[in-house]
């Protein structure tokens, strides 16, 4: 059993576990029960009614949060030649070369998002087992493998708050929607954008209730249960 500290217990006592809060109420409560000394991240956790073991029920999408994440997103670009120059001009923090690939293989992960041109995917493939589990693998489905002339747009979106998410083996998704210090209304609008994408991503093969459970939480803070029906009507 997990041992919780005094501050966590005091924060958790303010949350009624038998109640399902509206999104706005839940966000406000999650902000109020955040006790970390740093500006924590607000996260949305969703349990989906899918079977991730089946390829036709996988959920993997991206959402562009209207108010961003409240942090500097470090973008790593897999590009070379003219494409590399375009990526650098667009604001990419790192341009991949063989030396940087080796650095990543050795455990360097000082970046938050990746983008690649198709011509570089053979090199990206060497890092699949490293980047994949961390959600950092560029992919056409996620819109992060694009032609060179599309690099500026994607890099700009990534830096502005474009977030990729995918269902894990337990059919859960975990998505950051901003900082605890954000105005509640801005967190609400970010969450509304996320919920819209999740709804549209419902696999045709999924049966029964699709969005089964939603919990909001800040970094280190207690979970706040949200009414799934209210969240889908945001």
Q: Within a domain: residue 51?
A: yes
pLDDT digits (tens, 9 = 90+) for 165-184: 889 999 999 999 999 999 99
Residues 25 and 93 in one domain: no
Q: 109 falls in which pLDDT band (50, 70, 90)?
A: very high
pLDDT digits (tens, 9 = 90+) for 37-83: 999 999 999 999 999 899 999 898 889 999 999 988 899 999 999 99
3-state secondary structure 117-161: CHHHHHHHHCCHHHHHHHCCCCCCCCCCECCHHHHHHHHHHHHHC
Residues 84 and 156 in one domain: yes
Residue 105, token pair as written in the block: 């293989």
- In order of 30, 70, 109, 181, the CA distances from 36 in angstroms are 12, 17, 24, 12
Residues 167 and 154 in one domain: no
Q: Within a domain: residue 10?
A: no
Residues 30 and 55 in one domain: yes
Domain that holds residue 99: 75-160
Reported residue count of the chain is: 234
The enclosing H or E element of 23 equals: helix 23-32
Residues 181 and 221 in one domain: yes
d(CA 88, CA 145): 16
- Give the CATH number of the domain where residue 39 resides: 3.30.190.20
- In order of 62, 124, 144, 147, 154, the CA distances from 121 in angstroms are 20, 5, 11, 12, 17
pLDDT digits (tens, 9 = 90+) for 134-156: 888 998 888 899 999 999 999 99
pLDDT of residue 1: 56
Q: Within a domain: residue 199?
A: yes
Mean pLDDT of the chain: 93
Domain boundary among 113, 130, 160: 160
Say if residues 138 and 74 touch (Cβ distance below 8 Å): no
Question: Phi and psi at residue 61, in whole multiples of 5°?
Answer: -145, 175
d(CA 11, CA 122): 49
Residues 189 and 218 in one domain: yes
């Amino acid at each position: 059993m997990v041992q919780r500290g005094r501050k966590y217990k005091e924060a958790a006592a303010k949350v009624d576990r038998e109640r399902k809060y509206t999104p706005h109420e839940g966000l406000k409560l999650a902000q109020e029960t955040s006790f970390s000394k740093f500006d924590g991240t607000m996260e949305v956790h969703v349990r989906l009614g899918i079977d991730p073991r089946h390829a036709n029920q996988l959920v993997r999408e991206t959402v562009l949060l209207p108010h961003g994440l409240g942090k500097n997103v470090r973008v790593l670009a897999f590009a070379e030649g003219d494409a590399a120059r375009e990526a650098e001009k667009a604001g990419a923090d790192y341009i991949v070369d063989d030396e940087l690939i080796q650095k990543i293989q050795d455990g360097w992960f000082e970046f938050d998002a990746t983008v690649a041109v198709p011509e570089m995917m053979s090199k990206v493939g060497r890092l699949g087992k490293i980047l994949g589990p961390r959600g950092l693998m560029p992919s056409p489905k996620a819109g992060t493998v694009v032609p060179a002339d599309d690099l500026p747009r994607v890099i700009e979106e990534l830096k502005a708050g474009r977030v990729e998410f995918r269902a894990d083996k337990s059919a859960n998704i975990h998505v950051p929607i901003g900082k605890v210090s954000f105005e509640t209304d801005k967190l609400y609008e970010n969450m509304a954008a996320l919920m819209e994408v999740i709804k549209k991503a419902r696999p045709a093969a999924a049966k029964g209730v699709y969005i089964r459970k939603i919990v909001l939480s800040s970094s280190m803070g207690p979970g706040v249960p949200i009414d799934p029906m209210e969240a889908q009507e945001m």
